[in-house]
Amino acid sequence: MKKNLVFAVVLSALVAESKPLRIVQLDLARQMETTTFVSNYIDVVASFGYNALELYLEGRVGTRTFSLPAGERYSADEMKGLVAHAGEKGMIVIPVVSFLGHAEHFFKYPGLESLSESREGRYRIGSGQSTFCHSVAGAIPFFERYIADLCEIFTGPYFHAGFDEAWNSGLCSLCAPKEKKDELFTEEVMNIHRILKKHGKRMMMWDDFFGFHPKALDRMPRDIVMMHWNYGDISSRGARFNFAGRLREDSLAKYASMGFDAIPCSWHSPDNIRSFVQYARRNKTFGYLQTQWEDLIPNFHGGSLPGVLAVSLSLDDPAAAQADDAFSRAVSRLMPSLSDLEADAAVRLLEASDDRLALEVLERSALARSLGEVAENPFCERAYLDDILCRARLAVARAELRRAERILGDPRRTDEDVAAARRVLAPLPTMSRVLRVKARSVSLRPAPPTSTSKKYSATASRCWTDLWRASLEQW
């Protein structure tokens, strides 16, 4: 049995290297899921044609070198099981562990604070405990040990080392002089590249910080895979690129001319997916990554699956991408019980989740009315629709809160204005009952939701109920 699993993992890695990578990402750093859920998710996305699963982990994997407390980590054996299962489905698993920014997990508890860039009290954003210092003694040995642990678990050929959004980098007394010479970012990347290469891994990294360090790009080893992300509509010329505010350039063509392999990365927005898939098809790429992020509110994965499937359909069929019908085809495939009108409403909610007319159409559908009997399996059409509806209800709640806040925040407001704001806010506690348990069930699901719409009815909007109360109390 064990030999068969090893063979499956090796075979999947060989197959993945022989054709472009088609990757979907799960954000387990911000929103943990059970390994049962992830395993079932692998089954679904493998059926969509994906050959790689990227697990965004940060410090979630516990090893002999570093481990979060029980309940906040995955064990090495749990991750090995997922890697083996993915291999059986013809997929490889690519870990994402950030070794510059997004290091909050490593500094959450005492023990590694001496490796923090903000250990001297200097930081730009947040609490400061988010960024590794590569110059302090002990940092490189820690990276070497933890990476060695991870490479024993994740047996595929690729390792994604992050390097995005490192806002507090270059501030300590050891790093600041290198930052002034624009040498620090190059050194940090090279540190991790050297370690990964020693373990036979090909390094991947986000490319956004080259907007701040353009000279560093020339110094990069050409075997690094550039993960080129942008989460807006990139079809218009002159658009600003990510955080550095530079005018958009043809990054994929630039990377190809410099000898880099590159992978375009989109998010859940249909406009972003359509424009990025079309951009990717005009260039020679190493693959494609469809990301999923927790995005400050619970990520209802069933509501993301139409976008995940639409990407794969668009990559397989250029006509689908050009005709903008990939989302319609994805919705029809995932929720065949919906009528044409209802499927169109679902697509509109994926386009604009606060489309109230589309929400009303879907809430009246026979499939929605059956949600009181939702199956325990979260990967079925009723569960997909439930996730889309919950996302939409959250979006409507946010829009109503913003509307009320504009009214209440106007210093010229009258008693009539306050009464109007109260009328806007009044439905939110009722809406919250449809949401609260749903969100709690998503995070660290003890099992697939057992469920009725009543079970899904109390969680996602505890936060909205609190905001509703706070808004009224404030005024």
Mean pLDDT in consecutive groups of 10 residues from the start of the chain, 475 residues? 51 61 95 92 97 97 96 96 98 98 94 95 82 97 98 98 92 94 96 98 96 93 95 60 68 95 91 88 93 71 91 86 80 96 94 87 89 69 88 80 78 84 72 52 37 33 42 43
Cα gap 305→334, rounded to integer Å: 8
Cα gap 205→224, rounded to integer Å: 7
Report phi then psi at 339, rounded to 5: -70, 170
* Strand residue runs (E) in 28-106: 52-56, 92-96
Q: Return the pLDDT at 317.
A: 86
Amino acid at 377: N
CB-based contact 468:429 (threshold 8 Å): yes
Q: Return the pLDDT at 281.
A: 87
CB-based contact 326:351 (threshold 8 Å): no
Strands 246-247 and 202-206 come out as: unpaired
Report phi then psi at 366, rounded to 5: -60, -35
Q: Return the pLDDT at 434.
A: 52
Question: Counting Cβ atoms within 10 Å, is residue 137 exposed (0-12), middle (13-18) or buried (19+)?
Answer: exposed
CB-based contact 386:456 (threshold 8 Å): yes
- Kindly give, in sequence order, each residue whose CB lies less than 8 Å from that of residue 149, ignoring residues fewer than 6 positions away: 61, 63, 64, 65, 66, 76
Q: Return the pLDDT at 56.
A: 97
Query: Which residues make beta-bridge pairs with 228?
Result: 264
> Considering just the CA atoms, what is the radius of gyration of the chain in Å?
23
Q: Which two tokens stand for residue 150?
A: 């991870």
Residues in the chain: 475
Q: Which two tokens stand for residue 182?
A: 């624009």
Q: Return the pLDDT at 38.
A: 95
Q: Return the pLDDT at 90.
A: 97
Cα gap 357→184, rounded to integer Å: 52
Read off the pTM. Answer: 0.86
